[in-house]
A and B are shown apart, each in its own frame.
Chain A
Amino acid sequence: MDSSTLIRFTLNGQPASARIKSYFTVVDLLQSLHLYGARESCGQGLCGCCTVLLDGVAVSGCLTLAQLVGGRSLTTVESLDQSGILSPVQQAFIDEGAFQCGFCTPGFVLMVHQLLERNADPTDDEIRDHLAGNLCRCAAYPEIIRATKSAAARMRAAATA
């Protein structure tokens, strides 16, 4: 017996629904909807490639059952440029060259957004602590920290403009 369930939820600000298996993770759910920004890499919640926001809180998509998304709000990296303009964090990652292969980048970008929502001017240590669970196998860590500080400065400037 392998049944499926219909769930309704909010996906990147829009009403959405999907038929899922009981054992689907959020990564499986997003792939069924052709959203590939959150990727499963380690599959153990260690690497951060599958980062999504559930009700605005960062979680690992690979460790989150898709059924838990029913009735809640799911946000992925694809939400960030819905207006056609890259978010300040995305733009800062490009400007600072904060990636090589880009596989881990959506996770880093979402985590940095979360950090800057709570802390407009994080120190290097605060950035390192917050991103300790995101792995970049190209080791673009110095550029990622620079991009985070650059994005923070841009967002502070925009807030006071």
Chain B
Amino acid sequence: MRDFELVRPSSLAEAIALLDTEDGGVRAFSGGTGLMLMMKTGVFTPTSLVRLDGIEPEHAAIGIDDDGSLRIGALATLSTVEHSPIVQKVAPLIPEAMKRLANVRVRNAARIGGNLAHGDPHMDLPPVLAALHASVRAVGPDGERTIAVEDLFAGYYETVLGRGELLTQVIVPSQAGWASVYHKCTTRSADDWPALGVAVSLRVVDGVIADSRLMVSAATEKLTRLVTAEAQLKGAETKAETFARAADAAVAEAETIDDARGSAEYKSSLLHVYVRRALRDALSRGALQ
């Protein structure tokens, strides 16, 4: 690696000012687990890294709103989120997914904001959070905005975040009435990056699917919401035929890609299996609630 500067601003505003530059070698640095890999492989050569661990501590806090929404500061480590009783209460799918997300050391270092802003389509949290209808707060030189997690990704390792814009918070609404599942498939070894991730949330009323959210990741260039599959589910009875129709629609709409973890065709086959399996498991979870 080449020499670079490491700066440590003491406020969010100062960090944004440092990142609001045309120099592509200036990047925000939180847990560093993603960026270090890019630096070690020469994919990214920094001129200046802006450490975020010195900014206001509120940006790492986890809390709950009066309406039952969960607010996770972007600088909370994945371990903190994993072990938070509040997160467990509002969205138990998040700690469940953490168990097989990287490993203990990476979760001790990585921050939830960095995990999302990295834009890696193989990450587990984007499909999980999007299925839970989560959004993020972003603050930049032009002010603050809210972005749905499903709209955060523009492409392979690309987000819609602008120059100098930083994620500050992840907001997960109350999950009352919803049942959710995340399944991933690793094709080379159990701890590999996934070839496919599928997250499903279902709201079932009197045996009929009132609402659903279906997300696929890893097999596609970016996190993708399976809207035609959701349309197949809406108002339908919770039976295997319904789930098979949704899986057909998912395969038709998801643009799967070839990579070292499998061909596009193989991933489409996986998608068909995993959508049905995730819907079945979400349904049985809902029945237990």
Given the interface pairs A43-B40, A46-B191, the reply to whether A51 lies near B105 with Cβ below 8 Å is: yes
Instruction: Find chain B residues with CB under 8 A from A51 CB.
Output: 105
Considering only residues 204-261 of chain B, those with a C-beta below 8 Å from chain A are none
- Whether a CB of chain A sits under 8 angstroms from the CB of B89 is no
Given the interface pairs A63-B32, A64-B109, A65-B36, the reply to whether A58 lies near B3 with Cβ below 8 Å is: no
Nearest CB in chain A: distance from B202 CB, A: 27
Q: Are B36 and A63 in contact (CB under 8 A)?
A: yes
Q: Which segment of B96-104, B123-131, B263-271 sits at the interface?
A: B96-104
Q: Are A132 and B2 in contact (CB under 8 A)?
A: no
Closest A residue to B39 by CB, please name it: A23
Given the interface pairs A44-B37, A63-B37, the reply to whether A132 lies near B105 with Cβ below 8 Å is: no
Instruction: Find chain B residues with CB under 8 A from A133 CB.
Output: 102-106, 191
Known: A23-B4, A48-B105, A59-B108. 6 other contacts (CB 8 A): A1-B3, A3-B3, A22-B4, A45-B102, A45-B106, A60-B109
- Whether a CB of chain A sits under 8 angstroms from the CB of B5 is yes
Q: Are B108 and A23 in contact (CB under 8 A)?
A: no
Residue from B6, B105, B191 with most neighbouring chain A CB atoms (10 Å): B105
Shortest Cβ-Cβ A-B pairs, 7 listed: A133-B103, A23-B1, A63-B36, A60-B105, A57-B108, A22-B3, A59-B109
Considering only residues 5-64 of chain B, those with a C-beta below 8 Å from chain A are 5-6, 32-33, 36-37, 39-40, 51
Instruction: Find A129's partner among B2, B39, B99, B109 (CB 8 Å cutoff).
Output: B99
The answer for the CA separation of A23 and B29 in the assembled complex, in Å, is: 13
The answer for the CA separation of A132 and B73 in the assembled complex, in Å, is: 27
Q: Are B3 and A21 in contact (CB under 8 A)?
A: yes
17 examples of A-B residue contacts, CB within 8 angstroms: A3-B3, A23-B39, A45-B33, A45-B105, A46-B103, A48-B105, A58-B105, A59-B105, A60-B109, A63-B32, A63-B33, A63-B109, A65-B6, A111-B105, A129-B99, A132-B104, A133-B103
Chain B positions near chain A (C-beta within 8 angstroms):
1-6, 32-33, 36-37, 39-40, 51, 99-100, 102-106, 108-109, 190-191
Instruction: Find chain B residues with CB under 8 A from A60 CB.
Output: 33, 105-106, 109
- Whether a CB of chain B sits under 8 angstroms from the CB of A130 is yes
Considering only residues 30-64 of chain A, those with a C-beta below 8 Å from chain B are 43-46, 48, 51, 57-60, 62-64
Q: Are A58 and B106 in contact (CB under 8 A)?
A: no
- Whether a CB of chain B sits under 8 angstroms from the CB of A75 is no
Q: Are A23 and B3 in contact (CB under 8 A)?
A: yes
- Whether a CB of chain B sits under 8 angstroms from the CB of A2 is yes
- Whether a CB of chain B sits under 8 angstroms from the CB of A67 is yes
The answer for the CA separation of A2 and B178 in the assembled complex, in Å, is: 55
Given the interface pairs A59-B108, A60-B109, A63-B37, the reply to whether A45 lies near B103 with Cβ below 8 Å is: yes
Instruction: Find chain B residues with CB under 8 A from A65 CB.
Output: 6, 32, 36
Q: Are A111 and B2 in contact (CB under 8 A)?
A: no
Instruction: Find chain A residues with CB under 8 A from B105 CB.
Output: 45, 48, 51, 58-60, 111, 133
Q: Are B108 and A58 in contact (CB under 8 A)?
A: yes
Nearest CB in chain B: distance from A40 CB, A: 10
Instruction: Find chain A residues with CB under 8 A from B51 CB.
Output: 68
The answer for the CA separation of A51 and B104 in the assembled complex, in Å, is: 11
Instruction: Find A111's partner among B4, B36, B104, B109 (CB 8 Å cutoff).
Output: B104
The answer for the CA separation of A65 and B49 in the assembled complex, in Å, is: 11
Instruction: Find B6's partner among A22, A43, A48, A59 (CB 8 Å cutoff).
Output: A22
Instruction: Find chain A residues with CB under 8 A from B100 CB.
Output: 132
The answer for the CA separation of A48 and B191 in the assembled complex, in Å, is: 13
Q: Are B1 and A58 in contact (CB under 8 A)?
A: no
Instruction: Find chain B residues with CB under 8 A from A111 CB.
Output: 104-105
Considering only residues 54-104 of chain A, those with a C-beta below 8 Å from chain B are 57-60, 62-65, 67-68
The answer for the CA separation of A59 and B2 in the assembled complex, in Å, is: 23
The answer for the CA separation of A44 and B102 in the assembled complex, in Å, is: 11
Instruction: Find chain A residues with CB under 8 A from B103 CB.
Output: 45-46, 48, 132-134
Instruction: Find chain B residues with CB under 8 A from A57 CB.
Output: 108
